[in-house]
């Protein structure tokens, strides 16, 4: 199964979109379209669904889960500890807040999203998807490819109604925000999983040079549509169930339009350039660091938060992007790669990479004959950034 270098560039663009939406909010530009650049999260979820589902035959469940821990845990722990130790706002945190942020469970308590780490809600969703993916593979691979596609599509559509469940719709300020729990976003992962099924069926977009720009125009239209006041509330206002469902549905379309044409009609383009691939490798770090960097940008630059100044937006954005990229590049070399290699070597040394015979493989060995990508390609292309 071939590595798709353009997807690294897509990850870089998604990370930049998320940074822009956070900077725009904290400088109060008033640009509604910038708020909906948080659809970069949808792009990351679609990417995760596609990349992990296409490689589900490659490893045992234990090997797969080890690869996820080795890929994500080192930088996650280092970043969370650093932010909690260094940011002044972290001094007043409770023990449950600290523990849940260290373990990626912050969505499941009230006030779990803390200063400098609020973006980790999306990683919490990703972690849940990683955990259930072996079970999904074990269950769905019992069916034909056609039925798998139907089941995934139905599950994706049904997930849009998560917000209507009584214990979700009854949210009040101060409660645990169950509206953004992992099931709410399954449609975004399902889009990627369906794309992986299409790839396995050798579906190709024949007119890729035409389809791709058309799809990207549609994606821009999705951002514009979701940014309209009549479409749903902006900012931190809690949406009604119908408003939330619309936002998620349009996000699924947006993510599909960005990822699917690249995944099913790959070619050489600027997305696969050395710079874009490097930024894609660093995108996990950019995601992890940029909110903390943004928190220190205002006092360091002498800029007032929520000033409404376009110039302030430009200055703060430039600072946040540059510093986040530098931090990400450094921690990629000093933390991510050594940490990943250390965890894997310890697992091999102690014989813990194998799982008990009672646990299934993600799929049969015969199914895996269709091919699997290199460990490096999978490790480098499945993180979240939001």
SS (H, E, C) 309-369: CHHHHHHHHHHHHHHHHHHHHHHHHHHHHHHHHHHHHHHHHHCCCCCCCCCCECCCCCHHH
The band of 205, judged by pLDDT with boundaries at 50, 70 and 90, is confident
Kindly report, residue by residue over 153-187, the tens digit of the pLDDT.
999 999 999 999 999 999 888 899 999 999 999 99
The single residue listed with the structure tokens 């972690």 is: 127
> Which letter, b or e, does each residue of 31-70 get, where b requires 16 or more Cβ atoms within 10 Å of its Cβ?
bbbbbbbbbbbbbbbbbbbbbbbbbbbbbbbbbbbbbbbb
Domain positions in the chain are 6-15+30-278+355-379
**Which whole-number Å values give the CA distances from 332 to 198, 281, 286, 288, in the listed order?**
33, 8, 10, 11
Alpha-carbon distance 337 to 7, whole Å?
20
- Per-residue tokens: 257: 């339009």
Residue 338 is predicted with a pLDDT of 97
Alpha-carbon distance 157 to 169, whole Å?
18
Residue 1 is predicted with a pLDDT of 73
The band of 369, judged by pLDDT with boundaries at 50, 70 and 90, is very low
Range name among 116-125, 329-338, 342-351 with the lowest pLDDT average: 342-351
Q: What is the pTM of this model?
A: 0.90
| Torsion, CA 211, CA 217, CA 223, CA 226, rounded to 10 | -80
The band of 203, judged by pLDDT with boundaries at 50, 70 and 90, is confident
Residue 386 is predicted with a pLDDT of 40
């Amino acid at each position: 199964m071939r590595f798709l270098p353009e997807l690294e560039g897509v990850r870089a663009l998604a990370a930049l979109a998320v940074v822009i939406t956070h900077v725009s909010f904290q400088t109060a530009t008033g640009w509604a379209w910038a708020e909906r650049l948080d659809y970069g999260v949808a792009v990351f979820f679609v990417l995760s669904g596609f990349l992990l589902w296409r490689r589900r035959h490659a490893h045992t469940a234990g090997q797969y889960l080890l690869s996820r821990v080795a890929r994500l845990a080192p930088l996650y722990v280092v970043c969370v500890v650093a932010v909690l130790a260094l940011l002044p706002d972290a001094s007043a945190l409770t023990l449950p807040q600290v523990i849940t942020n260290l373990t990626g469970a912050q969505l499941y308590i009230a006030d779990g999203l803390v200063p400098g780490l609020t973006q980790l809600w999306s990683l919490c969703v990703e972690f849940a998807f990683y955990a259930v993916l072996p079970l999904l593979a074990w269950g769905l691979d019992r069916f034909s490819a056609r039925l798998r596609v139907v089941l995934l599509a139905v599950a994706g559509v049904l997930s849009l109604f998560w917000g209507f469940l009584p214990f979700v719709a009854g949210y009040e300020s101060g409660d645990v925000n169950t509206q953004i729990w992992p099931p709410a976003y399954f449609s975004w992962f399902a889009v990627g999983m369906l794309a992986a099924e299409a790839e396995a069926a050798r579906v190709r977009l024949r007119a890729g040079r035409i389809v791709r720009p058309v799809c990207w125009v549609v994606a821009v239209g999705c951002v514009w549509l979701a940014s309209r006041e009549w479409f749903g509330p902006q900012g931190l206002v809690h949406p009604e169930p119908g408003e939330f469902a619309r936002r998620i549905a349009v996000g699924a379309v947006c993510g599909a339009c960005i990822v699917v044409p690249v995944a099913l009609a790959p070619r050489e383009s600027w997305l696969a350039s050395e710079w874009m691939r490097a930024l894609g490798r660093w995108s996990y770090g950019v995601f992890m660091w940029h909110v903390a960097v943004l928190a220190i940008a205002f006092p360091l630059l002498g800029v007032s938060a929520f000033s409404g100044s376009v110039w302030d937006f430009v200055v703060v954005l430039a600072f946040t992007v540059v510093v986040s990229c530098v931090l990400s590049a450094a921690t990629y070399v000093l933390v991510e790669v050594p940490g990943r290699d250390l965890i894997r070597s310890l697992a091999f040394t102690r014989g813990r990479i194998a799982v008990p015979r009672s646990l299934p493989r993600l799929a049969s060995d015969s199914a895996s004959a269709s091919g699997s990508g290199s460990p490096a390609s999978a490790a480098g292309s499945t993180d979240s950034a939001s």
